[in-house]
């Protein structure tokens, strides 16, 4: 493949990541990091586990009352996460 001198390293890395098999893992880590950043230490203390697969974010919480409160704002949470990430990665949220 011939080199294109007009392409910068950022474009090349983005292209590589789009085609790489580990992209879902990188997306998953980005979503987990976004959860921690957006909700801070208080909610992080009640977060037992975070999983992300096929657009669905699953968050296991130790507090039933917090779970109920977050359930009411589920759509807003998804919107805020996607805005923070800069792209629509999260399509669903399951609070456990």
pLDDT tens for 54-64 read 899 999 999 99
Residue 52's beta-bridge partner residues? 57
Q: Which CATH architecture group holds 23-95?
A: 2-Layer Sandwich (3.30)
Domain boundaries, the chain: 23-95
pTM reported for the whole predicted model: 0.75
Per-residue pLDDT of 12-60, as tens digits, reads: 777 776 766 777 788 888 999 999 899 888 898 999 999 998 899 999 9
List, in sequence order, the alpha helices (H) in 1-96. 9-19, 23-44, 64-72, 74-85
């Amino acid at each position: 493949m011939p080199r294109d001198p007009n392409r910068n390293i950022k474009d090349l890395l983005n292209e590589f990541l789009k085609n790489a098999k580990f992209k879902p893992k990188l997306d998953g880590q980005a979503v987990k990091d976004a959860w921690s950043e957006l909700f801070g230490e208080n909610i992080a203390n009640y977060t037992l586990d975070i999983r992300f697969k096929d657009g669905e974010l699953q968050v296991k919480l130790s507090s039933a009352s917090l779970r109920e409160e977050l359930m009411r704002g589920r759509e807003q949470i998804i919107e805020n996460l996607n805005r923070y990430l800069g792209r629509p990665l999260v399509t669903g949220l399951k609070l456990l």
